[in-house]
Structure 1
Amino acid sequence: MVTTPSARPHDEDYLRLDLQLCFSLHAASRAFNGVYRTLLKDLGLTYPQYLVMLTLWEHGELPVKSIGEKLRLDSGTLSPLLKRLESAGFVERRRSRADERSVTIRLTEQGTALRERALAVPHHIARAVNLPPEDFHALRTLLATLTEGLDTAAATHPSSDH
């Protein structure tokens, strides 16, 4: 949106909640979580567990570190998730023979079979989002660009906790 000097918001308007991109993303994320919670309940998964399963269905056996990198999750968040997935019988954790400090995660037969049931989830989400396919893809591209820009900004301008 191009603003002209007369249409430019006053400085105090920049602090309005409805003008915050971060809040719009937060609200959309919470709305997504509500839809996913309902859809994933029948699969016995939470949304973060679903993301782990998507990663394993796509890439196969992976070190925990790689899963964390792909999902942007630290080990403190990821480890309990993986333990719950293991308790549910969807994954197995194994120590690497090459490096005892490294743990790999692989799907069990039950975890592999769950993929078939999960195939309906993206279709339900696409209907819930209610965007034409080209807008859906454009939004995903914009969000990837946004994420890249924010990552660059965070790396360029580290926080100054004094």
Structure 2
Amino acid sequence: MDDKLKLKSQVCFPIYALSREIVKHYRPFLDEIDITYPQYLAMMVLWENEPQTVNQIGDKLNLDNGTITPLLKRLAAKGFISRKRKSCDERVVEISLTESGKQLKSKAEKVPQKVVESMGVTPEDLMQLKAIVLKILDRAK
């Protein structure tokens, strides 16, 4: 068998496995605040700046409308966000945080540190990894 086709020769597999492992570490902490990892990402986008349209949130998370819309509907059902069609263009849905969604931020602020501790790595290791990943992502565009 050609070495190029062996799993141990692939760069993508350990990155894929690491991604799954990191999300696994997030899960118990996000369960405590009743959101999933993709919902957590959407909430972070809104905590940074709101209101935003469905398309704006999807663009920031690299998710298409078919993926982001059900995710946002579930957050709305939990009472964390509100969805409102713009009066000037009813095709555009604007997303805002509810009071409950704003309050969730204080609980979520503890999650990153808990994840770092549960993974047993230093913040510096993660920053170095992030820098390499961002460099590759930037070149791939």
Quick check: TM above 0.5?
yes
The count of aligned residue pairs is 141
Among 86, 98, 104, the residue aligned to 1:108: 98
**1:42-77 CA deviation, whole Å, 9 max, x = no partner?**
111010000000110011210110000000000000
Partner residue in 2 for 1:92: 82
Among 20, 23, 40, the residue aligned to 1:33: 23
Give the structure with higher Rg (CA): 1
**Paired letter, 1:63:** T
Q: TM-score, normalised by structure 2?
A: 0.94
Greater RCO structure (CA 8 Å; 6+ sep)? 2
**1:14-49 CA deviation, whole Å, 9 max, x = no partner?**
211122111011100111121111110011101000
Higher mean C-alpha deviation, range 142-151 or range 41-50: 142-151
Superposed, which structure 2 residues align to 1:1-162 within 5 Å?
Answer: 12-151=2-141
Could you list the runs of 5+ residues in structure 1 that have no partner in the other structure?
Answer: 1-10, 152-162
- Distance in structure 2 (CA, Å) of the matches to 1:88 and 1:72: 23
Question: Which SS does the other structure have where 2:82 is aligned?
Answer: strand
- Distance in structure 1 (CA, Å) of the matches to 2:44 and 2:9: 33
Question: Which SS does the other structure have where 2:2 is aligned?
Answer: helix
Percentage identity across paired residues of the two chains: 41
RMSD over aligned Cα, in angstroms? 1.4
Could you list the runs of 5+ residues in structure 2 that have no partner in the other structure?
Answer: none
- Distance in structure 2 (CA, Å) of the matches to 1:85 and 1:19: 40
